[in-house]
Amino acid sequence: MAATAYFFALFFSFALLSGFSLAGDPFVSYVFEVSYITASPLGVPQQVIAVNGKFPGPVISGTTNYNVVVNVFNRLDEPLLLTWPGVEMRRNSWQDGVVGTNCPIPPQWNFTYDFQLKDQIGSFYYFPSLNFQKASGGFGPVIINNRDLVPLPFPMPDGEITFVIGDWFTQNHTALRSILDSGKELGMPDGVLINGKGPYKYNSSVPDGIEYETVHVDPGKTYRIRVHNVGISTSLNFRIQNHKLLLVETEGRYTSQTNFTDFDIHVGQSYSFLVTMDQNATSDYYIVASARFVNETVWQRVTGVGILHYSNSKGQASGPLPVPATDVSHPWSVMNQQRAIKQNTSASGARPNPQGSYHYGQINITSTYILRSMPPTTINGSLRATLNGISFLNPSTPMRLADQHKVKGDYKLNFPERPLDNRPPRIDTSVINATYKGFIQVIFQNNDTKVQSFHIDGYSFYVVAMDFGIWSEDKKGTYNNWDAISRSTIEVYPGAWTAVLISLDNVGIWNIRVENLDRWYLGQETYMRIVNPEENGNTEMDQPDNVLYCGALKTLQKEQHNSAATSILNGQLKLIFSMMMVLVVTSVSAFC
C-alpha cells in the first residue's frame, strides 16, 4: 500500500519531440487515484475524498501551452468527473468535466483527461463536479507558470505557498445532499479548513487536539501566496496578522499591484498575493480565513486559523485574532475592494505583449443576457434554485455527444435572454443559443439573499461594473472600459448586479453556473452553446478516442477491464513510470 501511494505521488514531466504533440508543446502527466480516506479535520472522524491519499489533492503544475494528461482512477462508490474551472479548454469541452458535456467516470473505472494550457498563466484549482462531492474534498490547486521568455511583472519571489481554504461540514456529501433533497437549507458550516486542516487553538472556543496548518518562512523573504476558496458556499475574509497582502494576480491575469490588510475571497475564486516577511518575529502570526457577509458573532466557529512561523520566531501566536479592516455593514466599502482589482495593462501574461492591448471597451456589444437568480422555490414538489425562472435539468446524454451523434430532443436552445416575470418557474434542459464571434454582455442580477459567485467555463470575461439595485441600460455609462480585470469567477452581492463582457471565440458547449454548491445542486446553472456556422459546427476538436458514452448512447460504451487496470497499476505500470522518470527534462523551452 505504501509503495502504491509512493507511486501515485510521482509525476513526471518530459518534453516530447516535435511531431509527437500539438505544436511540439511539452507534456506533463499525472495519475490521480480518487478515493475515500478517513480524516478528522475538525476533530470528528469522517470520510473525505482524497487524491493519491492526499487531502487536499496534489498540485497540477505546468507552463503556458503545456499539454496536461491526468489519468483518473475512480475509487469512489459513485460516478466521478473532475473539472478545472478557469482552464479554458480551447475548442475542447470534451475535457471540461461537467455532466452537461461529459459522461461520468463510473466507479472503479479510469479515464484520461488530456488538455492544453493554451495561452494561459495563473492560479486555478480542480474539483469533483458531481453529486456534491466537493463538500467531501477531491480538490487541489492548478498552477500555470509563465514561459521563460515572458517576465513576471514583479521580482521572482523567494518561495511559493498555496492555501486551499473553504467552509466545511463534519457531515459528508451524501448526508448534505439529503438535507437539500428534503427541501432544507444546509445552515451554518462546522468550520473552515486551511489546506485540509482545522483551526489552531487561538482561544477556548476551539476544541483540543485539532491538527492545524503551519507555514514555515524566513525573515526578509517575499513569498507568492496563492489562495483558493474551494468551499461550499461561504465567502471568506483572508488575512495574515501584521502582514500586508500585495495583490498581484487573479485567475490568470496580473493585476495592478495593490496592498490590502485583508481580502474577501468568494467561493470558487483564486488570488495570488506577494507577502514580505517584514516583521520582527516576537511571536508566530495568525493566518485567518473567516466567514464573511453573515452574522459574524453567530458564525464565529466558521473561522480557519493557521500559523505563520518565522525561522527566527521567539514564541507562539497568542491573543485575539486580527479583524478585517472593512466593515461589511457598509456594503459600499466591501464592493470598493472588488472595484480596486484592475488589470495591469502593461504586464505580459501568457504572451510577451501587454495584457491590456486588447481594446474590449471599444467593441460593440452584440447581445445582452440578464441572468437573475432568485431564492430557492418549490417546483413540482421539490426545492429548486433558478436562473431566469429555469431550474436546469441535466440532459440524459451530454450535449456535445448528443450533437455529434445526432441524438434529437436532448436539450432546448431557448434559454431566455431576460428573466420572464409572467411565467412560473420551471425545470428544463434549456441552453443559451449564443452566436460565435459575438461580443456579449452578461448581467448577473442576484435577487437571492446570499452572496453568490458565478463562473463560466471555457472563457474569461471582463468584469466592467458591479453595483447595488437593478441593472438598466444607462448603467453602461459607468463601465470600466479600459483596465477591467479579466477572470472566470465573479461574486454578485445580494440585491446587486455584476456586468461582464465576453468575446465568444471558443466553440463548444460551456457551463454557466453559480459556484455556491447548494444553489448549483438545486439547478442554478445553464450552458451556452457556441458553434461556428461556417464550419457546420465542426470547429471543435474531435471527440477523444477514450470518450465515455452514456444516456441514449450508452450501448456504444465498451466495458472496462477493471481488475486488469488494478493489476497493471501495481505491476508493470510502476516500472514504466520509473523508466519515464529518467526522461525528466527540467528545463523545457516552449515556443508557440
Ligand X SMILES: *[C@@H]1O[C@H](CO)[C@@H](O)[C@H](O)[C@H]1NC(C)=O
Site size for ligand X (CB under 6 A): 45
Q: By CB under 6 A, is residue 592 in contact with ligand X?
A: no
Among 156, 208, 380, 408, binds ligand X (CB under 6 A): 380
- Choices 105-113, 232-240, 265-273, 500-508; region in contact with ligand X by CB under 6 A: 105-113
Residues 152-171 vs ligand X: string with x where CB under 6 A?
-x------------------
Q: Could you tell me which residues come within 8 angstroms of residue 334 by beta carbon, excluding any fewer than 6 positions away?
A: 264, 293, 326, 328, 493
Among 174, 396, 557, 566, binds ligand X (CB under 6 A): 174
Length of the chain: 592
Q: Write the Ramachandran bin of 577: left for phi over 0, alpha for psi from -120 to 50, otherwise beta.
A: alpha
Among 29, 40, 435, 481, binds ligand X (CB under 6 A): 435
Closest to ligand X by CB, 4 or 256: 256
Q: Identify the three-state secondary structure at position 338.
A: helix
For residue 518, the minimal CB distance to ligand X (Å) is 17
The residue to which cell 441593472 is assigned:
471
Q: By CB under 6 A, is residue 536 in contact with ligand X?
A: no
Cell matching residue 25: 508543446
How far is the C-alpha of 125 from the C-alpha of 268, rounded, in Å? 9
Q: By CB under 6 A, is residue 318 in contact with ligand X?
A: no
Among 4, 214, 257, 557, binds ligand X (CB under 6 A): 257
SS3 content of the chain, % helix, strand, coil (to 5): 15, 35, 50
Among 111, 271, 286, 520, binds ligand X (CB under 6 A): 111
Q: By CB under 6 A, is residue 320 in contact with ligand X?
A: yes
Among 98, 121, 302, 321, binds ligand X (CB under 6 A): 321
Q: How far is CA 466 from CA 85, 335, 489, 500, in A?
A: 22, 8, 14, 9
For residue 346, the minimal CB distance to ligand X (Å) is 5
User: Segment 191-230, which members bind ligand X (CB under 6 A)?
Assistant: 203-205
For residue 88, the minimal CB distance to ligand X (Å) is 22
What does the DSSP assignment read for 518-541?
HHHHTT-EEEEEE--GGGTTTTSP
Among 9, 22, 23, 298, binds ligand X (CB under 6 A): 298
For residue 152, the minimal CB distance to ligand X (Å) is 7
Q: Write the Ramachandran bin of 195: left for phi over 0, alpha for psi from -120 to 50, otherwise beta.
A: left
Q: By CB under 6 A, is residue 368 in contact with ligand X?
A: no
Q: What angle do CA 189, 187, 453 make, to 5 degrees?
A: 80
Closest to ligand X by CB, 444 or 520: 444
The residue to which cell 520566531 is assigned:
313
User: Segment 494-513, which members bind ligand X (CB under 6 A)?
Assistant: 494-495
Q: Identify the three-state secondary structure at position 397.
A: coil
For residue 372, the minimal CB distance to ligand X (Å) is 9
Closest to ligand X by CB, 13 or 588: 13
Q: By CB under 6 A, is residue 364 in contact with ligand X?
A: yes
Q: By CB under 6 A, is residue 413 in contact with ligand X?
A: yes
Q: Write the Ramachandran bin of 4: left for phi over 0, alpha for psi from -120 to 50, otherwise beta.
A: alpha
Radius of gyration of the chain (CA): 23
How far is the C-alpha of 116 from the C-alpha of 64, rounded, in Å? 9
For residue 375, the minimal CB distance to ligand X (Å) is 8
Residues 328-347 vs ligand X: string with x where CB under 6 A?
----------------x-xx
For residue 226, the minimal CB distance to ligand X (Å) is 17
Q: How far is CA 28 from CA 10, 11, 14, 142, 540, in A?
A: 12, 8, 7, 12, 23
Q: How far is CA 184 from CA 44, 151, 428, 472, in A?
A: 23, 50, 22, 34
Give the 3-state DSSP-derived string for 228-282, with helices as H, strands as E and coil as C.
EECCCCCCEEEEECCCCEEEEEECCEEEEEEEECEEEECCCCEEEEEEECCCCCC
For residue 276, the minimal CB distance to ligand X (Å) is 6
- Choices 18-26, 96-104, 291-299, 516-524; region in contact with ligand X by CB under 6 A: 291-299
For residue 125, the minimal CB distance to ligand X (Å) is 22
Q: Is the dihedral of CA 436, 407, 520, 371 positive or negative?
A: positive
Residues 126-145 vs ligand X: string with x where CB under 6 A?
--------------------
For residue 114, the minimal CB distance to ligand X (Å) is 9
By CB under 6 A, name the binding residues for ligand X: 36, 47, 71, 110-112, 153, 172, 174-175, 203-205, 244, 246, 256-257, 259, 280, 282, 295, 297-298, 300, 320-321, 344, 346-347, 364, 379-380, 413, 426-427, 433, 435, 447, 449, 494-495, 546, 565, 568, 573
